[in-house]
Amino acid sequence: MENRAVDKPKTSWPSFFDNGWMDKFFNAPLDEFFNYGKVLNVPAVNVTETEKDFRLSIAAPGLEKKDFKIDAYDDMLTISAEHEKEQKEEKDGRFNRREYNYSSWSRSFTLPENCDFGKIDAEYKNGELKIVIPKIEVKEPKKMKTISVN
């Protein structure tokens, strides 16, 4: 399964001030700004292939079932999550150290042809989102045969 990056829609007037860094500077804790590259914003994924299915396991702790949105469109599987609670927590405590923040993210995968889109199953347990994508047999294209005319 190959991973395809999801690009932000490009604005017609790209600007130095448009990337949100100023916003981050004023709103995020300073630690987070200076460490910006180090804060993990996107959870890690393990992908395993068995004979019957593909299994994705996403390490996204601290979320709830309802925060996830999983879409299979064309041959693209998109998993996104949005968690509301985070803002409140930040108010009553100041971060001394921040290495992860999984409150809003999205990841996409290109699915191979032999996936059964209708039977994708997902479960959130113990901080891991597990997605099982069953395989189906792909009918091989019919073989060409040339018939000679008698």
Partner 1 sequence: MYPGTASSKSIPAKSIKAMYFKDELQSNNLKPSSSIPAVNISKTAVKYVIVIAAPGLHREDFCIEVNNAIITIAAQKVASGYDPANDRCEYDYTDWARAFTLPEDADGLLTNAEYQNGELVIQIPRNTLADNVSQTTIYVY
- Cα distances (angstroms) measured from residue 23 to each of 68, 122, 145: 26, 35, 64
For 130, counting Cβ atoms within 10 Å of its Cβ (0-12 exposed, 13-18 middle, 19+ buried), the class is middle
CB of 97 to partner 1, least distance (A): 4
Output 35 or 78, the one with its CB closest to partner 1.
35
122 binds partner 1 (CB under 8 A): no
- Residues that contact partner 1, how many (by CB under 8 A): 35
Output 4 or 38, the one with its CB closest to partner 1.
38
Q: How far apart are CA 94 and CA 11, in angstroms?
A: 34
Report the residue from 27, 127, 136, 138 that binds partner 1 according to the rule CB under 8 A.
Answer: 127
Q: How far apart are CA 65 and CA 15, in angstroms?
A: 37
Binding residues for partner 1, per CB under 8 A? 1, 3, 31, 34-35, 38, 40, 44-49, 57, 59-64, 89, 92-102, 126-128
